[in-house]
Chains A and B, each alone.
Chain A
Amino acid sequence: MSHDPGYNFAYLDEGTKRMIRRTLLKAVAIPGHQVPFGAREMPLPYGWGTGGIQVTASILGRDDTLKVIDQGADDTTNAVSIRRFFARVAGVRTTTRTAEATVIQTRHRIPEAPLREGQVIVYQVPMPEPLFRLEPRLAETRRMHALADYGLMHVKLYEDIARHGHVSTAYNYPVMVGGRYLMSPSPIPAFDNPKMDHMPALQLFGAGREKKIYAVPPYTSVRSLDFEDHPFRPHRADGTCAFCGARDSYLDEVVCDDQGSRMFICSDTDYCESRWEPEQ
């Protein structure tokens, strides 16, 4: 496959890609620490994952195989257009199979199939600062990170338990990386948090609007914040996938007729398909 000769390979110019790669190296060297970068305008609106796209563009090589998911699915408009974009401007192979991909760009999910060494997962991040709702002053949040002064985050968890009897945060549940930096895992469900811990694959995070990149190197500890007497529990709807019968995957609830009856299906479409294909 060859890429559209009207663009540089993977759209960004080589200078920009080098700058982003340098930022990525810094980010890998300080797991969980947000590194600012000179984000470029991309031919997509913010909110479409421009941060993730720039990271992907900077690390793609001609031999890579790219998978793009949005909410776990390969076939949503967002996922399809990003995949097509890279097929065109980089000419790389694309796939919907988690196992076949070398680079996976994602919004809101981590695939169910465990990732392996050599794979890279790129998260699209709308708001990289985990303390943002608690402390609106950015200079102050930087100081809190520098001093590992994270008591305030626990105050938030305390408030949740006092109010709801449990931690009510279901998405973007804050984690400690390498026992040092508090990090936003991006708006993935808390269900996916344990997958980040000691993951064999490299995890990269790109926030386009906020111009920040951060990373979790392979086999790094990623712990969801909790209390000793209120341990972290990854929540999952208590149901079974109507297509593949999975009881362990993250489920979406869908309305299936105009009577309003509902059913659960796997949010990870590739996982779901891989489970019923062999039986056909």
Chain B
Amino acid sequence: MSFPLLEAQGLILRFGTTTALDDVGIAVHPGEVVAIVGESGSGKSTLLRVLSGQLVPAAGQVTYRDAQGQPHLLHEMGEAALRRLMRTDWGFVHQNARDGLRMGVSAGGNVGERLMAIGARHYGDIRAQATEWLRRVEIDEARIDHLPRTFSGGMQQRLQIARTLVSRPRLVFMDEPTGGLDVSVQARLLDLIRGLASELNIAVLLVTHDIAAARLLAHRLMVMRHGRVVEQGLTDRVLDDPQHPYTQLLVSSVLAA
């Protein structure tokens, strides 16, 4: 088995008296989709922000292994290297498209930004790649020069995904990428993410409180509660045979709904 792409142990983080992360560990392997589920306030977004270098934990460490297999301690690599990582090897898809898109820049410019950030200087090539990515996320290429604010919520999320995947990252963080969308739109978006992740062999760390989404996408599942991981394992195993009482409750409440 390959080495993990991202690995963390003993993560602790407090906001005042709230312990948002209480001794959390995780490993994500290349091409693997891992879902983090749990109720509101359980620490899912905080974990994602620590793992992606946006927050520094009070204790514990996060190790990233680059394409050459070299390990790097995330919180010691410095801001410049972290930013480079964020626009090359990694991507982040936000729940709110406004946080992930430039609303004043055309769809094509949004998709092209990461290419330009890593040195692309041929307009025709950038535009051709943007066109191709709009097609892949099922946005009519005739809209390449339109502003994202003229797009529906689902289209904005698909544009955010195109903008993130265009530079072929190895690992993508997604925080509730389908939150706030209609159920039918959600299903289509989940299908799209699943298809692209497996086609491009991208590892995805997905935060969701939608158990059905986790079942559809994730190879592995982590269940969080009060800043702790209460159960983790292969998705089907955890959902079909939950061991922890909280997971049992979570699964039964979905079945009941």
Asked if A and B bind, the verdict is yes
| Interface residue B245 (Cβ < 8 Å from any Cβ of A) | no
Closest CB of chain B to A166's CB: distance in Å? 10
- A262 vs B113: C-alpha distance when bound (angstroms): 43
| Interface residue B148 (Cβ < 8 Å from any Cβ of A) | no
Known contacts A155-B116, A162-B145; A147 and B109 CB within 8 A of each other: no
Known contacts A159-B106, A229-B124; A154 and B83 CB within 8 A of each other: no
Taking a contact as CB atoms under 8 Å apart, the answer to whether A147 and B80 are in contact is yes
Contacts of B108 in A (CB 8 A): 158, 162
- A229 vs B122: C-alpha distance when bound (angstroms): 6
| Interface residue A137 (Cβ < 8 Å from any Cβ of B) | no
- A146 vs B122: C-alpha distance when bound (angstroms): 25
Closest CB of chain A to B197's CB: distance in Å? 25
Known contacts A159-B106, A162-B106; A228 and B113 CB within 8 A of each other: no
Closest CB of chain A to B221's CB: distance in Å? 36
Taking a contact as CB atoms under 8 Å apart, the answer to whether B105 and A154 are in contact is no
Taking a contact as CB atoms under 8 Å apart, the answer to whether B83 and A149 are in contact is yes
Within 8 A of B (CB), among A129-187: 143, 146-147, 149, 151-152, 154-155, 158-159, 161-163
Contacts of B105 in A (CB 8 A): 155, 159
| Interface residue A84 (Cβ < 8 Å from any Cβ of B) | no
| Interface residue B65 (Cβ < 8 Å from any Cβ of A) | no
Chain B interface residue count, Cβ-Cβ cutoff 8 angstroms: 23
Within 8 A of A (CB), among B212-249: none
Residue on A nearest B115 in the bound complex, by CB: A151
Contacts of B116 in A (CB 8 A): 151, 154-155, 158
| Interface residue A276 (Cβ < 8 Å from any Cβ of B) | no
A interface residue count range (under 10 / 10 to 19 / 20 to 34 / 35 or more): 10 to 19
Taking a contact as CB atoms under 8 Å apart, the answer to whether A155 and B123 are in contact is no
Contacts of A146 in B (CB 8 A): 80
| Interface residue A227 (Cβ < 8 Å from any Cβ of B) | yes
Tell which of B87, B109, B114, B126 has the most Cβ of chain A within 10 Å: B109
**B48-68 interface bits toward A, Cβ cutoff 8 Å, 1 = contact, 0 = none:** 000000000000000000000
Contacts of A162 in B (CB 8 A): 106, 108-109, 127, 144-145
**A213-242 interface bits toward B, Cβ cutoff 8 Å, 1 = contact, 0 = none:** 000000000000001111000000000000
| Interface residue B75 (Cβ < 8 Å from any Cβ of A) | no
Taking a contact as CB atoms under 8 Å apart, the answer to whether B109 and A158 are in contact is yes
Known contacts A163-B145, A227-B122, A228-B122; A151 and B113 CB within 8 A of each other: yes
Taking a contact as CB atoms under 8 Å apart, the answer to whether A147 and B79 are in contact is yes
| Interface residue B27 (Cβ < 8 Å from any Cβ of A) | no
Residue on B nearest A148 in the bound complex, by CB: B80
Residue on B nearest A149 in the bound complex, by CB: B83
Closest CB of chain B to A136's CB: distance in Å? 11
- A152 vs B87: C-alpha distance when bound (angstroms): 12
Closest CB of chain A to B66's CB: distance in Å? 19
Residue on A nearest B110 in the bound complex, by CB: A155
Taking a contact as CB atoms under 8 Å apart, the answer to whether B121 and A154 are in contact is yes
Within 8 A of A (CB), among B106-161: 106, 108-109, 112-114, 116-118, 121-124, 126-127, 144-145
| Interface residue B102 (Cβ < 8 Å from any Cβ of A) | yes
- A227 vs B118: C-alpha distance when bound (angstroms): 14
Closest CB of chain A to B6's CB: distance in Å? 23
Contacts of B145 in A (CB 8 A): 162-163
Residue on B nearest A230 in the bound complex, by CB: B123
Residue on A nearest B112 in the bound complex, by CB: A158
Contacts of B144 in A (CB 8 A): 162
Give chain A's interface residues, CB within 8 Å of chain B.
143, 146-147, 149, 151-152, 154-155, 158-159, 161-163, 227-230
A-B contact pairs, 16 of them (CB 8 A): A146-B80, A151-B87, A151-B118, A152-B113, A154-B116, A154-B121, A155-B113, A158-B123, A159-B109, A162-B106, A162-B127, A163-B106, A163-B145, A227-B122, A229-B123, A229-B124
Q: A155-B112, A230-B123 are in contact. List 17 more A-B contacts (CB 8 A).
A: A146-B80, A151-B114, A151-B116, A154-B116, A154-B121, A158-B108, A158-B109, A158-B123, A159-B106, A162-B106, A162-B108, A162-B127, A162-B145, A227-B121, A227-B123, A228-B123, A229-B124
Which 10 A-B residue pairs are closest in the complex by CB-CB distance?
A151-B117, A154-B116, A227-B123, A151-B116, A228-B122, A147-B80, A155-B109, A159-B109, A155-B113, A229-B124
